[in-house]
Amino acid sequence: MIAPNNHINEAERLRELESYNILDSLPESDYDDLTKLAAEICGTPIALISLVDKDRQWFKSRYGLDAPETPRELAFCAHAINDAENTLLVNDARKDERFYDNPLVTGDPNVIFYAGVPLKSEAGLPLGTLCVIDNKPNGLNKGQKESLRILSKQVMNLLVLRKKNYELNKVVDELENKNQDLEQFAHVAAHDIKSPISNISNLAGMFLASYKSQLNDDGLGLIELIIKSSDQLYKFLERLMDYSANIDTVGEEKNYISLKNFSEKISNFYSSDQNLELNFNSEIKNLNINVIVVGQILTNLIGNAIKYNDKPKAKVDVNIDENEEYYIFSVQDNGPGIEKQYQDKIFDVFVKLSKTDRFGKEGTGLGLAIVSKMVAKLGGSISIESELGNGSIFSFTILK
């Protein structure tokens, strides 16, 4: 027996193999389908997707063989990867000086015939092979060789796709972690700044109370501006803390509640508003939802529909539907509508489309950002349909 040599770029090849994060992964039907097809096309009892590691060959998929791996020094595939441009074809291993006394030939699984096509990465490095094996002398015709080559490309396509998905998931995880760090920083920073801002407002108020009679109109205006600006900043910081806290506390707890009780809970918030017509429409009798969080989402959307309405009487319709996976909510108003160019931005943090609401209060640009985050935490998504002069429809889904 002649043991296989290491690949000429062995260290680089092993790093490339490791980058696919494939070794010792669980079986996957997409790979198993290809080995079964390879065995049927080539008329062999065994077909393998073999990946050549440092000291072993490990089988990502195996058809007709129980062993999950074999030592590299015995591996036919370790020979095959040293000529990555060609198929290694061994018609009768008993007559080949490289393999005649190989334990895999003389004993189980009695590898007599072998054909292996190297699996080349995008970097041109061989990771292993797609191979077929028989326990008697055999060969491949031209069509079978071409079919095996085509199947080997499909194996590499699967490996590349898996690698890209793995890398994408890593990036997503890193971004989520960074986002959580940023939200935590915003919470801490807002908390630490609130106290000095409150002190400024209080001191300005005390100064105004003590020296009001000694100040001219300009002086009074400046002190009042300090107080007003400090109060606005304080409220903004409170909302910023709410943004962080609300996202962190969205949980998975769900409760069954009748639509009647749920709609009454929401409606009670606005029972004193004589300039509001609020309607709930649904054929659903009961909901299984996180009542508190979904309630917060709806009250925020309804509150916005009231605050930024330009009609003498605000009209808001809440429609609730469902399919197999989601509850589907929509909040429709008769307000001024939102221009198309702003509709993709309104769920971003700090985006404000109006300086003040109908009551003269300035928003923080955090309300819809909180809503969007809450919906996402509940496994759903949110969107808007709006036309200037014809109101808006905010629609969101909640995973059941």
pLDDT, tens digit (0-9, with 9 covering 90-100), for 302-327: 988 998 898 989 999 999 999 999 99
Residue 202 within a domain: yes
**DSSP β-bridge partners for residue 52:** 57
Over residues 265-281, the pLDDT tens digits come to 889 888 777 889 999 99
CA gap 279, 314 in Å, rounded: 11
Q: In whole numbers, what is the pLDDT of the chain averaged over residues?
A: 88
Based on the fold, state whether residues 282 and 226 are members of the same structural domain: no
For 3-42, write each residue's pLDDT tens digit.
999 999 999 999 999 999 999 999 999 999 999 999 999 9
161 and 239 assigned to the same domain: no
**What per-residue confidence (pLDDT) applies to 148?**
97
Report the pLDDT value the prediction gives residue 382, as an integer from 0 to 100.
96
Range of the domain at 366: 255-399
Domain final position from 227, 249, 271? 249
Residue pair 396/318 in contact by the 8 Å Cβ criterion: no
pLDDT category of residue 242 using cuts at 50, 70 and 90:
low
CATH number assigned to the domain comprising residue 358: 3.30.565.10
Element (H, E) at 397: strand 392-399
- Could you identify the residue written with the tokens 């979904």? 294
Name the residue among 176, 169, 212, 78 with its Cα closest to residue 376: 176
* Statement to judge: residues 14 and 162 lie in one domain: yes
- The CATH code of the domain that includes 79 is 3.30.450.40
| Whether pLDDT at 362 is above 70 | no
Locate 290 and state its tokens: 């996180």
Reported as a pLDDT band with limits 50, 70 and 90, residue 1 is: confident
- Residue 111 and residue 102 in contact, taking contact as beta carbons nearer than 8 Å: yes
Same domain, residue pair 183 and 288: no
Query: Which strands, in side-by-side order, build the sheet including 392-399?
Result: 276-281, 314-322, 326-333, 392-399, 382-386
Inter-residue contact 115 to 161 (CB < 8 Å): no
**At which residue do the structure tokens 């970097």 appear?**
123
pTM: 0.52
pLDDT for the residue 360: 55
Residue count of the chain, please give it.
400
C-alpha 322/C-alpha 329 separation (Å) is: 8
What pLDDT does 364 receive?
Answer: 55
Contact, 250 vs 287, CB < 8 A?
no
Tell whether 113 and 236 lie within a shared domain.
Answer: no
* Tokens matching residue 198: 């409150």
pLDDT exceeds 90 at position 144: yes
